[in-house]
Amino acid sequence: MFIINCPYCGERDQSEFSCGGEAHIERPKQPTELSDDQWAEYLFMRKNIKGIQFERWNHIHGCRKWFNVVRDTSNDKIHAVYKMGERPPIK
Amino acid sequence: MCNLKPLNIQYLYSIYEQNMKNKYSIFSLIKNALSGHENWQRAWRDPEPKKEYDVIIIGGGGHGLATAYYLAKKHKLTNIAVIEKGWIGGGNTGRNTTIIRSNYLWDASAGLYDHALKIWEGLSQELNYNVMFSQRGVINLAHNLQDVRDLKRRTHANRLNGIDAAWLSTEEVKKFCPIINTSQNIRYPVLGGTLQRRAGTARHDAVAWGYARSADKMGVDIIQNCEVKGIRRSGDQVEGIETTKGFIKTKKIGVVAAGHSSVLANMAGIRLPLESKPLQALVSEPVKPIIDTVVMSNAVHAYVSQSDKGELVIGAGTDSYVSYTQRGSHNIVEETLRAILELYPIFSRMKMLRQWGGIVDICPDASPIISKTQVKGLYFNCGWGTGGFKATPGSGDLFAHTIANDEPHRLNASFNLNRFVSGDLVDEHGAAAVAH
Ligand SMILES: Cc1cc2nc3c(=O)[nH]c(=O)nc-3n(C[C@H](O)[C@H](O)[C@H](O)COP(=O)(O)OP(=O)(O)OC[C@H]3O[C@@H](n4cnc5c(N)ncnc54)[C@H](O)[C@@H]3O)c2cc1C
Ligand SMILES: [Zn+2]
């Protein structure tokens, strides 16, 4: 349970948002050329990091916009929020 | 009639002698009661790690301890260590709501979960440890037409696989568990349900302790307060583990770390399809017996049973995001309690005493992974997510087989890691997703 600072609406309770999982997984540009291993990687394999994770969130009960969050999954502290298409402000 | 011998002191004493050696029985209970329960022997040793083991199991939960037990018992491998970063059974094994059932949809899952259920039926005797397995039956409720179709289909599939399953009408549900609100005027009315009579509950801690004690007796080293920090590989073969108690050499590593599986996979440089999320449960103040079965409902996400102490044991849902905080969000608990109150208005004034969370490792197809990996000597048993307690004995048995033979058993062959590449998924979202 934590507060998320929506880049469009400001601080709201996490329960207003829905998590879209790991960020920056690129949709394959040439799907027909992908091997089974590459499909498995794209569809299923996840970093599932204990520590600093980059992830997508949607303000589902608010502005309904997608954006990115940098969160430490070991203590749920949020380190940064940035819009879709922007570069992560933290390495 | 059984062969009763005359009760004389000498005879009693001879049985007592036989049972003395650390075996629990009515005789050891009486003897220890007479000495004020101060002379019970410790149930397992507390050894320092050796330099090398034939097999190292990472994770001292029920699944890890069961794996070590079957490796020693069935495969005669006794130079084994179970490495646990905290205390045994302190992970999901000691945090779950203990529901045991085998009514899964697909043949592969039916084989896997019913294998476990059959072992549960004789486990207390086998381990000489009362795991309090109670076949009180599990009901899964249907609240809409799709639920009815899905659950009826699952009932038929179960029967074809030799798993006991029955469809109950709304009236039959009410008869089996009278406190359920079966009014058709509630938001999600009860349209019927399934019943597996062989299903039930067990005492979670006892499962860890029982396996630990029996494994220890066969020579397995159970090493607590020892965290694995690294997995050393030489090329594509494992060499050993780095721990807070130093390096330990081994050629075979079985990882059974539930919510922390991905952390260990990262140490070994392999990828897993898992997401780790908090899952919560809560218990009420103890009350007199009021519900003598387990009732689950996927649609409204609420399930409840009553512990032997009298507490209502209520399971909530997972949070939607990855987290290792072992807490869970308040709104999840609120949603569950709302559903519980609509289905059981009689509980409206119950007080909840405790709430906690565990970190569950969720697989995309809601089925587990019991598998070799591309690294030689590295095996993973994970992805049990919200529902692996029920599988503990079977999972340990099959994982031990996989490690000992470097080949899966027929019953866990489908649960390999490669299914995410081949596409041969075992989709159990219907049977597993929210129900545990
Ligand atoms: C609230 C809740 C309710 C549930 N309800 C049910 C239910 O009703 N029925 C059901 O079937 N299942 C249920 N489950 C799921 C079930 O608890 C798990 O699937 C099962 O207990 C997993 O057992 P395990 O032995 O694999 O994991 P665990 O018991 O979690 O054991 C893994 C162990 O690995 C250790 N570990 C992790 N990392 C390291 C490291 N680096 N070094 C050393 N040790 C490490 C941990 O400390 C832990 O003790 C529930 C889970 C939760 C959280
Ligand atoms: Zn917003």
Supply B79's token pair: 């130079």
Residue A69 lies in a domain: yes
Indicate which atom in ligand 1 lies nearest the CA of residue B256.
Answer: 26
Query: In B, which residues are within 8 Å of A45 by CB distance?
Result: 271-273, 420
Digit-by-digit pLDDT tens for chain A (91 residues) are: 799 999 999 999 999 999 999 999 999 999 999 999 999 999 999 999 999 999 999 999 999 999 999 999 999 999 999 999 999 988 7
Q: Which of A18, A39, A73 sits opposite B320 (nearest CB)?
A: A18
Residue A88 lies in a domain: no
Residue A89 lies in a domain: no
Give the model's pLDDT for residue B1: 43
Query: In B, which residues are within 8 Å of A76 by CB distance?
Result: 323, 325
Q: What is the CATH number of the domain that holds A55?
A: 3.30.2270.10
CA of B86 to the centre of ligand 1 (A): 12
- Sole residue written with tokens 């608010």: A62
Residue A91 lies in a domain: no
Closest Cα partner for A81 from A18, A8, A1?
A: A8
Residues whose CB is less than 8 angstroms from the CB of residue B375 and which lie 6 or more positions away in sequence, other chains included: B233, B236, B237, B238, B268, B269, B270
Decide if A16 touches B, using CB distance below 8 A. no
Decide if A58 touches B, using CB distance below 8 A. no
Query: Which residues make beta-bridge pairs with B81?
Result: B56, B221
Domain tally, chain A:
1
**DSSP-assigned states of every residue in B358-409:** EEEEE-TTS--EEEE-SSBTEEEEE-BTT--GGGHHHHHHHHHHHHHHTS--
Q: Which secondary structure element, helix H or strand E, spans residue B75, and what is its range?
A: helix B62-75
Give the model's pLDDT for residue B301: 86
Q: Are B350 and B314 in contact (CB under 8 A)?
A: no
CA of A16 to the centre of ligand 2 (A): 9
Chain B: nearest CA to A6, how far in angstroms?
16
Give the Cβ contact number of residue B259 at 10 Å. 28
Supply B317's token pair: 């849902």
Give the model's pLDDT for residue B13: 58
What proportions of chain B, in percent to the nearest 5, are helix, strand and coil?
A: 35, 25, 40
Residue A56 lies in a domain: yes
Rounded to whole angstroms, the Cα distance separating A90 from A73 reads 15
The chain B residues in contact with chain A (CB within 8 A) are: 260, 262-263, 266, 271-276, 320-325, 327-331, 364, 420-423
Q: Give the domain extent around A13.
A: 3-83
Give the model's pLDDT for residue B42: 85
Helices (H), B223-357: 261-268, 330-343
Digit-by-digit pLDDT tens for chain B (436 residues) are: 454 555 566 655 555 555 445 788 888 888 888 888 888 888 899 999 999 999 999 999 999 999 999 999 999 998 999 999 999 999 999 999 999 999 999 999 999 999 999 999 999 999 999 999 999 999 999 999 999 999 999 999 999 999 999 999 999 999 999 999 999 999 999 999 999 999 999 999 999 999 999 999 999 999 999 999 999 999 999 999 999 999 999 999 999 999 999 999 999 999 999 999 999 999 999 999 999 999 999 888 889 999 999 999 999 999 999 999 998 999 999 999 999 999 999 999 999 999 999 999 999 999 999 999 999 999 999 999 999 999 999 999 999 999 999 999 999 999 999 999 999 999 999 888 565 5
Residue A27 lies in a domain: yes
Residue A76 lies in a domain: yes
Residue A90 lies in a domain: no
